Structure 1
Amino acid sequence: MRKSLDHILLTPDEMGAADAASAESGIPSFGLMERAGQAVAASALRHFPGARRFVVLCGPGNNGGDGYVAARALAQAGASVAIYHLADPQKLKGDAKLARELSGLPSQPLQDYHPANGDVVIDALFGAGLARAVPEPVVDVIHKVREAKIPVLAVDLPSGLCGRRGIPLGAAFEANCTVTFMTRKPGHLLLPGRVRCGEVEVFDIGIPARIIDTVAGKTRENSPVLWRNLLPASGPDTHKYRRGHLTVFSGPASRTGAARLSAAAGLKTGAGLVTVASPSDAMEINAASLTAVMLHQIDTVEDLETWLRTAKLAAFVLGPGFGVGGRARQFVLALRDRPLVLDADGITSFRDDPSELFDAFADGNTHLALTPHEGEFSRLFPDLAADENLSKVEKAVKAAERAHAAIVYKGADTVIAAPDGRAYIDTNGPPSLATAGSGDVLAGMIGALFAQGMPAFDAAAAAVYFHGEAAKRVGRSMTAEDLADHAGVWPDP
């Protein structure tokens, strides 16, 4: 795969535009189909050398054409091949029709397929472009294959998955592996699509990179390639204030742990100074638990405003353990001109009037990062959360534009979005991140990069990636304290 395309994700519509532009440039479309089908056959032989029979399920479009090419290549390699078609193959058109004719192989109706021991299914029914629920004959075959535990190799995307949203459209195959072409699609990375695709192989069928670059939108897989040039760099004249002063707001005495986790992660992630801003009732417990992290008493918004006038503070984290209500809203509005990471209780405090938050941070460069999980996202953006036609990427992008903020839409398929339409899907976070406090650590990491001068979106993307890498280093038995300890141990990006 050409390295420049590695992290690009094309929607099905964008991939269709790439195919069309390629044909307009004079590249024969059947040549692309031939290379695609040959790649599928090679992958099938490599992954399933012990298959007794390759069962190729061919749909009525170009995905089916890829299947007919693969069937011919497998037969020429000496494999046993059976083809089953959906709809009348005599009605095939264009490249798919030519691919079937060149195969010279008979086919049977899809509903006649009965799984047998030793079968491997090559799913070439629909691919990534499907936008409607799969028809009943396909649902029946999906169920048969699943019950018989037959291995599946999917062409482009397991049939039944939406290539844009990564969700099943009624029913979908669960593939052991998937062969796609030129770039992956959002549906390969978003859940549950990521699980249903198995191992994804990307094969270059010859569409010029310039065409891919032209049709590509702003969605990428999160990777250091995208933001490493913006990471903080230290020189011989670096001092602690040049590395930024991060402030994390503490909750009351009974809820101080989350802020200390954020603060510890912020210090590990490179902030030159970190201060926990604590209410008076929590000063004693915070003081007993902090060493390198400093402590400052803040009870009222007037206390905060006075401190802002006198201290050199670079960025802020508000929300972890803070408490929901008017005090949180007052503090946030006092910080409207400052770089702020708003998490947890800070987000929920604006559920009754999200526009109050959005309006406060609407001016100037983006200096607000919001880190909602699913429930918190629905509190700030109820209409977007309820829109089933939108993908997680599209929801995050619309939310970022509305809030004039970097959005970290958390989950096992975290999406980071910017108001200008950029969106990164993160894939490196292990299941061990599903532990209490991991979100508090992430907020502190974002805040630290923010404090060191990274733009909001890039700081969020980098912190999400390093958060996942830290969790992988700690291992399965990880706690949030372990995660915070490893927050600054970065791999070479």
Structure 2
Amino acid sequence: MNSRHTFPPTNLSLLTPTEMDDADHMAVSHGAVAFDMMEAAGGAVAVAIGARWPMQPVTVLCGPGNNGGDGFVVGRHLKAAGWPVTLGLMGPREKLHGEAAQAANLWADPAEAFSPDLLHGAGIVVDAMFGSGLSRPLDGQALEMAELLTAKRLPVCAVDVPSGVDGATGRVLGAAAPADLTVTFFRKKPGHLLYPGRGLCGDVVVADIGIPAAELTRIAPQTWENGPDLWLEGFPWPQAESYKYKRGEVLVLGGEEITGASRMTTEAASRAGAGMVTLAAPAKVWSLYATSLMNAIVRSFDGLAEFEAMLEDKRRNVIAIGPGAGVGAVTRAYVLAALKTKRTVVLDADALTSFAEAPDVLFAAIEGSCVMTPHEGEFKRLFHLKGDKLARARAAAAQCGAVIVLKGSDTVIAAPDGRAVINSNAPPQLATGGTGDVLTGIVAALLAQGMAPFHAAAAAAWLHGAAASAFGLGLVAQDLPNAIPGVLQTLRARAGPDADRRTRR
């Protein structure tokens, strides 16, 4: 099985604003012309506008920097194509410099004074006030304009990001006007995928502006948008010579009071390809589990000693604990026993909350591979970290030595070495009880089949979202496991005829 530990630079690479600046500068140092890149950027925005909307009056709002320079190019291209264009500039024209000044010089018409009057009669607004590198809250005219655009709900095309959105974090700095379309350049930024920025960007188009892809290798980005291109080559497809134990065995700890959670974890692990799944059922409720799980072995146990006896079977190479387990000392003991085996452990829900008063005990016990899948509430109980979601997930992974899957509509998967993936395919119907328990089972199954923890967590998050999308509206958590096979079939076709050979490698 292929368990490579790195993702290559790809179209899914995400660049911080600083890394994007580096890409610009490196491209120029290797022969690109900075103004040609600005011309390509503005031209791409004009093309995207023409592809989305019929011809109508356009107002272009230009800021005092290079984002405003892009706006001048957009206005010139649209006007040349016959669109009625009004262009407003924030600040004096003579204070523009560099490529922005060059772009302004090619705009033959006056630049109107920056005021709310610019929006009168506008059919579409181009937001070229500030780009992804904005580091302070909007104020003055920019703040007034962002608030006015929000109130008027005019169609907006944002250049790079909606002004006021931090491209590195997705945070809103003061205010930001929602865009229907955002055109960014070379690669997306984290702020295009992290909320609230993601909810303000509308449809995101990535335009080629002439930066060579080789610059990605020099930058070595550490953040990616999740997608099969990252991990599909090493996905563990069934092999003709495989048998059930070769495909791994997942041991799931069942709860005594809330039994549905661990049952969904078990069913998801089975559907996601684990060769065997065993559910450790508390003796009092063994019959309930045994009669409802047809695709798993249900083993009765009574207390820690009998659970530890189950752990002695080394074929059980992945242990999943948390869904429905109950919060308290008993669950803590089960978690510590599992971690003591130094086999791969997936921890979710109650397994995490049980350590809220003693997180250091949990972190110190992690010696083998471990994946934690907290939602925001569970995360805050364990990790007292501040900052944006991406930074917090990275810091938590480094602190505890586990891969962190910080769940949500913009799930972040972070490895202890700093690599991170942002998942973007989760539909709103996943916001229902029990779907996280299913994700735990998918993660466990991919780990059992030999995927490296970071890859397994990323692949599981994507499969989880794809299964929910395939099912559609009306989804409840128990629908997800049965939606997994259809997604796997489609994914297998995408992998191509050489997938089996790559898996054996």
TM range (shorter): over 0.9
**Distance apart, 1:229 and its partner CA:** 2.2
**Distance apart, 1:476 and its partner CA:** 0.4
Superimposed CA distance per residue, residues 310-360 of structure 1 (whole angstroms, 9 cap, x where no aligned partner): 463111110000001111111111111121110000010111111111111
What residue number does 1:345 align with? 350
Which one of 50, 53, 57 corresponds to residue 55 of structure 2?
A: 50
Q: How much identity, in percent, do the aligned residues show?
A: 43
Which one of 244, 256, 263 corresponds to residue 240 of structure 1?
A: 244
- Partners of 2:482 and 2:352 in 1: how far apart? 26
Superimposed CA distance per residue, residues 360-416 of structure 1 (whole angstroms, 9 cap, x where no aligned partner): 11x35xx1100000111111112x2xx2xx331221111111111111100000111
State the secondary structure of the residue aligned to 2:174.
coil
**Distance apart, 1:196 and its partner CA:** 0.8
Change (3 A) 1:49 1:296: same
- Partners of 1:372 and 1:156 in 2: how far apart? 32
- Partners of 1:160 and 1:32 in 2: how far apart? 23
What residue number does 1:206 align with? 210
State the secondary structure of the residue aligned to 2:106.
helix
Instruction: State yes or no: 1:176 paired with 2:173.
Output: no
- What is the TM-score normalised by the length of structure 2? 0.92
Which one of 280, 284, 288 corresponds to residue 277 of structure 1?
A: 280
- Partners of 2:30 and 2:150 in 1: how far apart? 42
**Distance apart, 1:117 and its partner CA:** 3.8
What residue number does 1:402 align with? 399
How well do the aligned residues superpose, as a CA RMSD in angstroms?
1.5
**Distance apart, 1:118 and its partner CA:** 4.4
Instruction: State yes or no: 1:425 paired with 2:422.
Output: yes
**Distance apart, 1:136 and its partner CA:** 2.3
Q: Is the 8 A contact 2:9 2:220 kept in 1?
A: no
Give 1:291-310 correspondences, 5 Å limit: 291-310=294-313
Which amino acid is 1:248 matched to?
V
State the secondary structure of the residue aligned to 1:255.
coil
Change (3 A) 1:257 1:267: same
**Distance apart, 1:213 and its partner CA:** 2.7
Which has the higher mean CA deviation after the structures are superposed, 328-337 or 150-159? 328-337
Q: Is the 8 A contact 2:439 2:461 kept in 1?
A: yes
- Partners of 1:8 and 1:311 in 2: how far apart? 38
What residue number does 1:197 align with? 201
Which amino acid is 2:52 matched to?
H
Instruction: State yes or no: 1:116 paired with 2:133.
Output: no
Q: Is the 8 A contact 1:279 1:297 kept in 2?
A: yes
Structure of higher RCO (CA pairs closer than 8 Å, 6+ residues apart): 2
**Distance apart, 1:132 and its partner CA:** 0.7
Which amino acid is 2:28 matched to?
A
Aligned residues: 481
Which one of 19, 23, 31 corresponds to residue 36 of structure 2?
A: 31
Which one of 464, 469, 474 corresponds to residue 467 of structure 1?
A: 464
**Distance apart, 1:460 and its partner CA:** 0.9
Could you list the runs of 5+ residues in structure 1 that have no partner in the other structure? none
- Partners of 1:227 and 1:439 in 2: how far apart? 21
Which has the higher mean CA deviation after the structures are superposed, 433-442 or 68-77? 68-77
**Distance apart, 1:216 and its partner CA:** 4.0
Give 1:213-292 correspondences, 5 Å limit: 213-252=217-256, 254-292=257-295
**Distance apart, 1:126 and its partner CA:** 0.5
- Partners of 1:17 and 1:4 in 2: how far apart? 15
**Distance apart, 1:275 and its partner CA:** 1.0
Which amino acid is 1:394 matched to?
A
- Partners of 2:309 and 2:79 in 1: how far apart? 79
